[in-house]
Chain A
Amino acid sequence: MNRIERTNDFVVRFANVNGTGSASANNLFAQAIFKMGVPVSPKNIFPSNIQGLPTWYEVRINEQGYLGRRGGVDLTVAVNGQTLIQDYNEVLPGGYFLYDSTKKLPEVCRRDDMTEIGIPLTELCNAAFSDPRLRQLLKNIIYIGALSFLLDIDFSILNDAIRNQFLKKPKLAEPNLQALEIGFTYARDNFPETCGLSVHKSNATGDAILMDGNSALGLGAVYAGATVVGWYPITPSTSVIEAFERYANLFRTELESGRKRFAIIQAEDELAAIGIAIGAAWNGARAFTATSGPGVSLMSEFLGLAYYAEIPVVLMDVQRTGPSTGMPTRTQQSDLLATAYASHGDTKNVLLFPCDPKECFDLAADAFDLAERLQAPVIIMSDLDLGMNDHISAPLVWDDTRRYDRGKVLDAAALESMPEKWGRYLDVDGDGICYRTYPGTHPNKGAYFTRGTSHNEYSAYTEDSGLYARGMQRLLRKWETAKTLMPAPHEKTCNPDAPFGALFFGTTSHAAYEAVDALAEEGFEINTLRLLAFPLRQEVIDFINRHGQVFVIEQNRDAQMRMLLINEGRFVPEKLHSVLHFDGMPITADTIRRQIKALLPQLSIPHGQKECLPGVTP
């Protein structure tokens, strides 16, 4: 048997039953590797359930910093009887299978191409601890202790992490530390020289942080000065609001009075959630809501009102697998069409695509500036993978000289000094963006009646066709302005003459970069563009025009980004090739690499560029 022998480059998968405390134990494992300076990417694959169903936690360890899902498992920790056989069979040849040997493996588990590591977790746990509730939790800690020996994880880091975790309840730390020790000792005594996988200390993480995207979005909103939140609970967006509340309580509680400089309203549904955000934004507060696909559907009517009445609202969409309830706890990038053109009538909305926690933080802060500058809804498109899993990320940065861009707002003095009659929807600057006022600003100037029905430049009701059409044309002018304000895409050019480009966004990026690197090693050169926003900036149009063929990589079935590109960029559809993944699991580099390789032979390459393509017959 060829044992897999690797250092700082392998995948560990934990198979657990949800509701048994495995999440915190597994988290401890990922944290320890991160603290050893080795890039780590944990993904929680969980059911829409609170207790009793299978859940997996997949940890990729990769010193080169490839953080997308790799695919394949080198070591499985199997503590869920329900999925034991499946977990057993999915280990890669040469891999390792750690299981609770208190019970014998079923007869069907007979592989001789991998190493079985049987540790009697239940027996060891029951012998050492008597409290039945603690036993369940500590069984998880025992396997972490065993992994510490098997994978050479610094035991003191685990020890410190547990002491930190129970800083306020040191008594609880003791049994946890004991459980770690039990696991470590058992593995050392029974499985020396057994495991070929190893973690060595490294500096590869530099000053990086480990954070989930939802916390970064919530924190970004605190830094951006958001004060009013309307929301309705929905996985996977709920923790955005929880994070906002946690940080706002910390930073926005008045010292003297204990009063809060923010208001969070848990609404009766998503209709009200966004209504609250729109009402507050209209009244001059920075306001937002967070939701997922089904919530976006419910919010669509209000999004149309905000677009047409020109109200700056921020919506954070943490996408999940649809349609309908779909797979509510799995990831996808499948709300692109539902958000870009959300609502009835002619609407177009600004979308932002963060790919890691730092970008969640940055784009959350930018979203409020953009919304107020454009007086329009701005939608941040995160997803479950980014939102609910920990990701390695560059540290968060805030420039203390930064000022909020509140956009075109007239105060009492400005109204007083205006030579001409003010019109709420009068485009005096020619950029499609008009001046607004907040209620209560001036005793007799600047009041207007906001409405979703047709209005003239002074916000008075009208059913004049020409006035309506003029207003709609102006909104298009504003859309053109929006293009110039969007964050620029990230381009990586490996060969300026390469005929191939790849375009991707959000969490697809990590796997896409890895796949493109792998293809480059095989001799296929592909330039890349990572999209950060919709509408499309000129750079995006230029990138696609510059390349003969462009792969559009995304995590949905219907190639929604490709549709947006064709629609907004007027590209020839034949030059945009879809690389799709939509099974609810995060996309892997291998999937992308294989799909691109399968497409290559069919692609017609302009003459003179084929030398970039070893092995491909044009």
Chain B
Amino acid sequence: MTFTRPSFRHPSQPTNSLGYSRSDYEGTISTLCAGCGHDSISNAIIQACFEIPVEPHKVVKMSGIGCSSKTPAYYLGKSHGFNSVHGRMPSIATGANMANRDLIYLGVSGDGDTASIGMGQFIHVLRRDLNMTYVVMNNGCYGLTKGQDSATADKGSKSKKGAPNPFESIDLCELAIQLGAGFVGRGFSGDKQQLVPLLKAAMSHEGIAFLDVISPCVTFNNTSGSTKSYQYVRDHIEATGTFDFIPLQQEILTQYEEGTTQAVTMHDGSVIYLHKNANSPDVTNRRKSMDILEAEKEKGRLLTGILFLDPESSDTHEILATSLSPLNTLTETELCPGSAALQKINERLR
């Protein structure tokens, strides 16, 4: 059956600076399992878009195939969406972005969709630094086909079926940093406090912003032996430091103590304030970011927050030097060389 949300809204619900209320960013009712981590991420996306704020119809939401890839129906009902084929969201996103550089591209994928069938497309969309936010809802298993281990399942982790995973696990964040992604972060679906600003910062980054969000599968991978269960993640989580995302031209209300805060200005002029404690790493240094990820892994800790940030990163349109006018707005006048030019070509071919 098709689910719809009642259209009645409380008349006094708050609106953002663009005049939209939070409900304007909602989609249809989720059909995922009750308690699914993905629903929390969908909610965080709604909250982030409401807070930034973005115009809902200026967002393009894309996905591949799997539980996670169903979620774009559950948020941003006023946006165009594209549920493509398994593992191929990055190519659809690339084409869509090339066609119109003026929209905001938000792709969601799963660990199967990204780390296995879509690995080729994942690493190449990183390489070409497409201006998009790429969110992996990472539960370490294939939910929609009933719980097989995925390539991000940790070695030794046990899913509902009980057998420990014998294969090495792929760390998507390390890959993303290595391949030159300008913004790499990791979140946890159970930590909205961190996830919402993480999404807001990612969506404001120019170039590719990659977010690996650990999102427990309550049905197939929330067991005591799983490293992607709610309990395990809560027990082993470590953050790079807290941070605030300050969108463009907004007053900074909080004052930070000198020396404890690093301000990183994004391309559009918005700022991320990283609050450091004694142990928090410098996330603008790629080599250090890789080191710290490995070090935490050795300790059995899962590092979250912004893992790497390159404020100088570029994007595919800049690399290719494409027109500042969206290509899909160009007409015969700008695109067709006309008959006179063709006559000259004919002459040269005689």
- A: residues with CB less than 8 A from B are 35, 207-211, 219, 222-225, 227-228, 230, 247, 250-252, 254, 257-265, 267-269, 271-285, 287, 301-302, 305, 395-400, 402-404, 437-444, 447-453, 456, 460-462
Contacts and interface: CB of A to CB of B under 8 A. Distances in A.
Given A227-B335, A278-B92, A451 B83 contact: yes
Contacts of A258: 321
A207 B347 CA distance: 9
B70 to A, nearest CB: 8
Contacts of B342: 223, 396-398
Nearest to B58: A440
Contact of A284 (B57, B88, B100, B317): B100
Contacts, number: 237
B171 interface: no
Contacts of B82: 279, 282, 449-451
B278 interface: no
A265 B350 contact: no
B341 interface: yes
Contacts of B55: 443
Contacts of A281: 95, 99
B322 A263 contact: yes
Contacts of B79: 439, 447
B98 to A, nearest CB: 4
B120 A279 contact: no
B120 A210 contact: no
B99 A227 contact: yes
B237 interface: no
B253 interface: no
A280 B91 contact: no
A276 B94 contact: yes
Most buried by B among A207, A275, A283, A442: A283
15 contacts: A207-B350, A225-B332, A227-B335, A261-B323, A262-B322, A271-B120, A271-B121, A276-B94, A280-B95, A284-B99, A287-B99, A397-B342, A398-B336, A404-B332, A438-B100
Contact of A439 (B28, B91, B103): B103
A519 to B, nearest CB: 33
Residue from A263, A282, A403 with most neighbouring chain B CB atoms (10 Å): A263
B182 interface: no
A565 B84 CA distance: 33
A273 B91 CA distance: 7
B239 interface: no
Contacts of A209: 346, 349-350
Given A225-B330, A400-B338, A456-B2, A279 B95 contact: yes
Contact of A440 (B62, B103, B322, B335): B103
A290 to B, nearest CB: 15
B100 A276 contact: no
A251 B337 contact: yes
B281 interface: no
A230 B121 CA distance: 13
Interface in B291-350: 316-317, 320-325, 327-328, 330-332, 334-339, 341-342, 345-346, 349-350
A261 B95 contact: no
B65 to A, nearest CB: 8
B2 A460 contact: yes
A443 B328 contact: no
Contacts of B95: 228, 230, 265, 275-283, 285, 287
A402 to B, nearest CB: 8
B292 to A, nearest CB: 29
A225 B123 CA distance: 30
Interface in B214-262: none
Interface string B268-286: 0000000000000000000
Nearest to A399: B339
B128 interface: yes
Contacts of A263: 98, 316-317, 320, 322, 327
Contacts of A396: 342, 345-346
Given A227-B330, A440-B58, A259 B98 contact: no
B334 A261 contact: yes
B72 interface: yes
Contacts of A452: 83-85
Contact of B72 (A225, A230, A449): A449
B161 interface: no
B73 A262 contact: no
B332 A305 contact: no
Nearest to A226: B335
Interface in B7-54: 28
A403 B331 CA distance: 9
Nearest to A313: B95
B269 to A, nearest CB: 22
Interface in B105-155: 120-121, 123-124, 128
Given A209-B346, A285-B95, 15 more contacts: A219-B345, A227-B98, A259-B323, A259-B324, A262-B322, A269-B120, A271-B91, A271-B120, A271-B121, A284-B328, A305-B85, A402-B332, A440-B57, A451-B83, A461-B73
B290 interface: no
Contacts of B93: 279
A397 B83 contact: no
Contacts of A274: 91
Contact of B83 (A211, A219, A283, A453): A453
B102 interface: yes
Contacts of A284: 99-100, 328
A398 B92 CA distance: 32
A398 B322 CA distance: 26
B124 A268 contact: yes
A296 B148 CA distance: 31
Nearest to A404: B332
B60, B88, B96: most-surrounded residue (chain A CB, <10 A): B96
Nearest to A463: B1
Contact of A275 (B77, B80, B91, B102): B91
